[in-house]
């Protein structure tokens, strides 16, 4: 158990350092472009365009250093095609349910929705739906969940799937990092945090079930894709 607790401290500290470094890079970039500073800092997808690549690169670096050549233990392996299809279908169903319920309880603020122009929507799709999903899964499932589960596998057997200690911790931390964006954008903090934690838990279960980081990335993309589609269907204020 002591190994798991040590891994917990190390995992959370490194995760926070990665995020701190990423936002430090963002602030440095913004300072060099003073004319766009306010727009960037108050726009979630423009912020993500700077933060996500740094998070992804640092997460990959840490994983490669810790893996000592054993990358399959950190999710760098393939899963069966049939399994990927099945979990992808389960993921999109879960995404539709969670996002629709969240939207019903607390509608997404307009400034968190995709832009109205085509170019803006394409950039939003690439940055939020794809890049942010990959970067966040590499950090929270690829690194944080794996460092815990590789140290000591604490698992709750639910029948055909298991919920590990690493999956629970990574889901909680993933939910908590959405507190600041929710406050900044005027969204409901409990709704955004809980929905993000649910996404994180599903992604964690998929990682444990498949052993591949690909499945968590897919389900994360599905959640963001559903939100993207709903956002594009909303009327835009001129």
In a domain, 132, yes or no: yes
In a domain, 21, yes or no: yes
Residue written as token pair 């140290």: 151
Residue written as token pair 């158990």: 1
The number of CA neighbours under 13 Å toward the Cβ of 70 is: 8
Task: Quickly list H helices, 106-213.
Answer: 118-124, 133-137, 146-151, 165-176, 179-185, 189-210
Question: The domain containing residue 92 runs over which residues?
Answer: 2-233
In a domain, 204, yes or no: yes
In a domain, 124, yes or no: yes
- Count how many domains the chain has: 1
Alpha-carbon distance of 43 to 115, in angstroms, equals 11
Alpha-carbon distance of 104 to 106, in angstroms, equals 6
237 pLDDT tier (thresholds 50, 70, 90):
low
Which residues, in sequence order, are CB contacts of 144 under 8 Å at separation 6+? 11, 12, 15, 166, 169, 170, 173
**Beta carbons of 62 and 15 less than 8 angstroms apart:** no
Which tens digits make up the pLDDT trace of 84-110? 999 999 999 999 999 999 999 988 887
**Beta carbons of 95 and 223 less than 8 angstroms apart:** yes
Share of residues in the chain with pLDDT > 90 (%): 66
Radius of gyration, alpha carbons of the chain: 18
In a domain, 238, yes or no: no
Q: Output the six-digit token pair for 171.
A: 């889901």
- The per-residue pLDDT for 165 is 94
Q: Output the six-digit token pair for 119.
A: 């170019």
pTM comes to 0.90
Alpha-carbon distance of 17 to 12, in angstroms, equals 9
Span 120-140, average pLDDT: 93
In a domain, 12, yes or no: yes
Alpha-carbon distance of 87 to 209, in angstroms, equals 10
């Amino acid at each position: 158990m002591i190994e798991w607790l040590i891994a917990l401290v190390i995992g959370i500290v490194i995760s926070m350092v990665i995020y701190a470094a990423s936002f430090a890079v963002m602030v440095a970039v913004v300072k060099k472009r003073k004319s766009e500073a306010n727009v960037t800092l108050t726009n979630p997808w423009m912020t993500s365009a700077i933060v996500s690549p740094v998070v992804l690169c640092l997460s990959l670096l840490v994983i490669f250093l810790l893996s000592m050549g054993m990358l399959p233990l950190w999710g760098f392996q393939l899963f069966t095609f049939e399994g990927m299809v099945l979990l992808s279908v389960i993921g999109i169903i879960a995404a539709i349910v969670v996002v629709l319920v969240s939207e019903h309880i607390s509608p997404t603020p307009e400034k968190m929705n995709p832009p109205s122009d085509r170019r803006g929507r394409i950039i939003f799709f690439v940055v939020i739906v794809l890049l942010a999903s990959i970067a966040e899964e590499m950090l929270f499932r690829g690194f944080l969940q794996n460092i815990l589960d590789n140290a000591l596998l604490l698992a709750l057997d639910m029948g055909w799937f298991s919920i590990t200690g690493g999956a629970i911790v990574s889901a909680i931390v993933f939910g908590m990092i959405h507190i600041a964006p929710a406050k900044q954008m005027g969204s409901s903090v409990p709704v955004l945090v809980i929905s993000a934690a649910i996404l994180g838990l599903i992604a964690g279960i998929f990682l444990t079930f498949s052993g591949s980081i690909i499945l968590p990335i897919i389900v994360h993309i599905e959640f963001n894709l559903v939100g993207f589609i709903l956002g594009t269907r909303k009327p835009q204020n001129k």
